[in-house]
A and B are shown apart, each in its own frame.
Chain A
Amino acid sequence: MKLIKSIIKPFKLEDVKDALSEIGVEGMTVIEAKGFGRQKGHTEIYRGSEYTIDFLPKVVIEIVVSDDLCDKVIDAISKAAKTEKIGDGKIFVLPVEQAVRIRTGEQGDEAL
């Protein structure tokens, strides 16, 4: 099982969700975040004073899938979230030790 953690631009969330749906991934957790990488922030000016805004709004999507789906998921997310401009985001893959469905107690791949 792998945890796939993707940081993407907020307006791409619907596209990514649809793309994942097409390959059979129906569940996900979405976290509103802010951050930056190479994409710099911007400056806002109010009444002559400058305010530097370093952080940009981002969205983090977390999904846990069985190992065989991993590559397909990474591919789907990448295609859907790409705008080819700086700030498109990153995908991280982490190993998952255990997964449990709370309602039924199922574990492992059955819990996904």
Chain B
Amino acid sequence: MKTLTCLKTFLAITIFLGISSISFAETNDANGSGANDSDQVAGSKIDAVNQAELSKQLEETAKEGIAAGNTAWMITATALVLFMTLPGLAMFYGGLVQSKNVLSVLMHCFAIACLASIIWVTVGYSLALTPGGLEDEARGWIGGKGQFFLEGLLEGQNEENGFPTSVWIIFQMTFAIITPALIVGAFVERIKFSAMLLFCALWLLVVYCPVCYWVWGGGWLAKAGVIDFAGGIVVHATAGASALTLAWMLGRRKGFPNSLKPPHNPGMVMIGASMLWVGWFGFNAGSAGAANGDAGMAMLVTHLSAATASLVWMFIEWKKTGKPGLVGIVTGTIAGLATITPASGAVGPMGAIIIGATAGIVCYFACGLIKEKLGIDDSLDVAAVHGVGGILGTLMVSYFGQTGVLGGQGISRHGEDGDGAYFTWTEQLTVQAQGCLAAIALSVVATYVIVKIVGALTGGIRVSEDDETKGLDQAAHGENGYSLN
């Protein structure tokens, strides 16, 4: 009955506060009328800007080339995407491992976020998104070193869409952060921390930056007309393929596949997935680069894919195991989100529902395939969910992105200025497939080489058997996730 008393008290306080604030608001209005514009906003610390000042500000931002709406949205989207990693992905992965390893997973995500940030602004951004080689014949395969250490970045330097270049740099940085963080899922509970840091640093330079350049930096895939709105190839395919390779080289966890422990905190998994869903609005809608209809549509289709994939996964699991689980439904969510990512700028809402449904089905069975058929301990199903999902979406956009197909917004067009005839869906599919294959090939080969190098430098990328048994929280980080007594 204590709960009931608490609830009654809470309700009483809320009603009291509600009535008080209404009456105070009325009092303020009565006092302030006519005296000064600023009094109209009760309790505001900022003086209301009068008309003349406002006009002056608008003039100045127009001179600077700032589109306030676009800038505000891109800044917000950046925060949302960082939120996806910290703490969205961290919690999503954290809840899936054993309690003795929860901190190590949070640590991986956090450390990667920090490390990737520095790498991005020193060399990453320049290599990934600025033209390489000579001006008129920019290389197709990697960017230039002209903006190492963000040289030449000026305050007031803006992008085509009227938002500051500094914002563009950090928005893209959040993508460079989450991509290696996705790979964490493949090596949990047994990787050496130093090896992980080294791996991620090298991987960003050798895999992420080139592929990012190919697709978003004006590289060869962009020139070929590839469609990857927010990172089906750049983020999910690369992370998935690298995760699979790394998991295979690292070896299976002790107890795989027959005596594993279930996720220690499915609630944490759901909380993380929820944060990822919300943050993904920044990921996809932010990739529109503007506060406009494209962004709005991207947000809508992203959401529909997530919702559909969740339900489809849930129903499949219900049929196959007899019970619909929480871990299952939220995994479906992520599958839906990953799959819509490359297509979110081109498909319509109904197309998104079909994409989501397909994602739910395909990724569900991909999980079983990789673990059971291939026997690879990609512990948190990075390849099955992100890899397969990203590739699936990249391919499906060829058809569902066409105008006239379920609300499609349009795929690539021929011609130098992109104003020629639309690609046929088979033409688009060819480019998409080329992009996927190239990204996968680079990911696999580079991961293999990097792991060999890192292994040599750290004396083996895997922790000792004793440490694995003790748990990485204690063994690697000297901390306890839950000190409950």
Q: A and B, one complex?
A: yes
A residues near B (Cβ < 8 Å) are 44-49, 51-53
A-B contact pairs, 11 of them (CB 8 A): A45-B323, A45-B325, A46-B262, A46-B327, A46-B328, A47-B367, A47-B381, A48-B372, A49-B260, A49-B367, A51-B262
Assess the B262–A48 pair: CB atoms within 8 A.
no
Complex: chain A residue closest to B257, CB-CB: A49
- Number of interface residues, chain B, beta carbon within 8 A: 19
From residue B472, how far is it (CB to closest CB) to chain A in Å? 20
Shortest beta-carbon contacts, A-B, top 5: A48-B368, A51-B262, A45-B321, A46-B327, A47-B367
Q: Is the CB of B262 within 8 A of A47?
A: no
Q: Per-residue CB proximity of B262-278 to A under 8 Å, as 1/0?
A: 11000000000000000
Give bound CA distance, A48 to B332, whole Å. Answer: 12
Q: Which of B262, B317, B372 contacts A44 (CB 8 A)?
A: B262
Contacts A45-B317, A48-B371, A49-B260 supplied; 15 other A-B pairs, CB < 8 Å: A44-B262, A45-B321, A46-B263, A46-B327, A46-B328, A47-B327, A47-B328, A47-B367, A47-B381, A48-B368, A49-B257, A49-B367, A51-B261, A51-B262, A52-B259
Taking a contact as CB atoms closer than 8 A, the residue among B259, B325, B364 that contacts A46 in the complex is B325
CB contacts (< 8 Å) of A46 on chain B: these are: 262-263, 325, 327-328
Tell me, in angstroms, the Cα distance from A67 to B327 when the chains sit together.
Answer: 52
| Shortest Cβ distance from A49 into B: residue | B371
A77 vs chain B, min Cβ distance (A): 27
Q: Give the chain A neighbours of B261 by CB distance below 8 A.
A: 51
Q: Which B residues contact A (CB, under 8 angstroms)?
A: 257, 259-263, 317, 321, 323, 325, 327-328, 331, 364, 367-368, 371-372, 381
Collect the chain B residues with CB atoms within 8 Å of residue A47's CB: 327-328, 331, 367, 381
Residues of B within 8 A of A53 (CB): 262
Q: Which residues of A contact B321 (CB under 8 A)?
A: 45
Q: Is the CB of B367 within 8 A of A48?
A: yes
Please give the distance in Å from B117's CB to the nearest CB on chain A.
Answer: 31
With both beta carbons as reference points, the residue of chain A lying nearest to B262 in the complex is identified as A51
Set of chain A residues within 8 Å of B328, measured between Cβ atoms: 46-47
A52: B residues at CB distance < 8 A: 259
Chain B residues lying within 8 Å of A45, measured Cβ to Cβ, are 317, 321, 323, 325
Whose C-beta in chain A lies nearest to the C-beta of B370? A48
Which residue on chain A has the smallest CB distance to residue B256? A49
Complex CA–CA separation, A53 to B371 (angstroms): 20
The interface residues of chain A lying within 8 Å CB-to-CB of B331 are 47
Closest chain B residue, CB of each to CB of A52: B259
CB-CB under 8 A from B262, the residues of chain A are 44, 46, 51, 53
The distance from the CB of A7 to the nearest CB of chain B, in whole angstroms, is 22
A46 to B332, CA, bound (A): 12
- Per the bound structure, the CA–CA distance linking A53 and B259 in Å amounts to 10
Give the CA-CA distance A45 to B327 in the complex, in Å. 9
**C-alpha spacing A52/B258, complex, angstroms:** 9
Docked CA distance A52–B255 (Å): 12
CA distance A53 to B483 in the complex (A): 24
A106 vs B397: C-alpha distance in the bound complex, in angstroms? Answer: 82
**B368: which A residues are within 8 A, CB to CB?**
48
Complex CA distance for A58 and B261, rounded to whole angstroms: 19
Give the residues in chain B near A48, CB-CB below 8 Å: 364, 367-368, 371-372
B207 to chain A, nearest CB (A): 26
Least Cβ–Cβ distance between B461 and chain A, in angstroms: 24
Shortest Cβ distance from B314 into chain A, in angstroms? 12
